[in-house]
Structure 1
């Protein structure tokens, strides 16, 4: 029997974690637009996965999963822009640990070693 990966739950938790992280970021003229972009892209991963999960064909599923991948890459970009030297102060880390599981394509946590991922900001440190 194949292991079950509850990607709907994992992508929802990822979005929640990013929202918690963004709440800790100091608000200013630079960070406000970045926070908005980050929240939109991170929460879109889960929303697009839900759409993919309800697909009626393999073609539609692949297309929707492709959207998940694009949003994941965009999220990684916005996290990079939120790196402390770029926003001038260090946001409070948020605990986003998850159980170790085999990696699944490019869905969350997007290549981060779960044993070393204390926050979504840790995505920046993985490359």
Structure 2
């Protein structure tokens, strides 16, 4: 059985988002944007997991499209947290490429699935 790259990467990314959330709350006392980041960042992998056992091709596309939307929202919250100086540039530079990679992978999966 070949590895499911998006499943693996989205899980690792979710763990990193949870840890970032804990840090933002504990160190920066930031609760609103970090909560939004937590919800969207962990939802990516949850929807990928749901798509794994989709009932049909259209159900699979729907679940992966939701993952894509959540990845895009996560990317937004990372940008906003960085722009408002809650997320230091060093950490932003670490997580932004991972967020962009999620977006690229999901765009590719959704496009390919629609063909």
Is 1:34 paired with 2:33? yes
Name the CA shift for 1:89/1:78 in 2 (closer, same or farther; >3 Å).
closer
Name the CA shift for 1:55/1:39 in 2 (closer, same or farther; >3 Å).
same
Matches within 5 A, 1:18-97: 18-25=17-24, 26-28=27-29, 31-83=30-82, 85-87=83-85, 90=88, 93=91
Q: Is the 8 A contact 1:8 1:49 kept in 2?
A: yes
Name the CA shift for 1:19/1:89 in 2 (closer, same or farther; >3 Å).
closer
C-alpha distance in 2, partners of 1:91/1:55?
Answer: 39
Unaligned runs of 5+ in 2: 109-115
Unaligned runs of 5+ in 1: 108-127
Give the aligned partner of residue 105 of structure 2: 104
Q: Is the 8 A contact 2:6 2:105 kept in 1?
A: no
State the aligned residue count: 99
SS of the residue corresponding to residue 63 of structure 1 reads helix
CA offset digits 1:60-91 (Å, max 9, x no partner): 100111000000000001111110x4136738
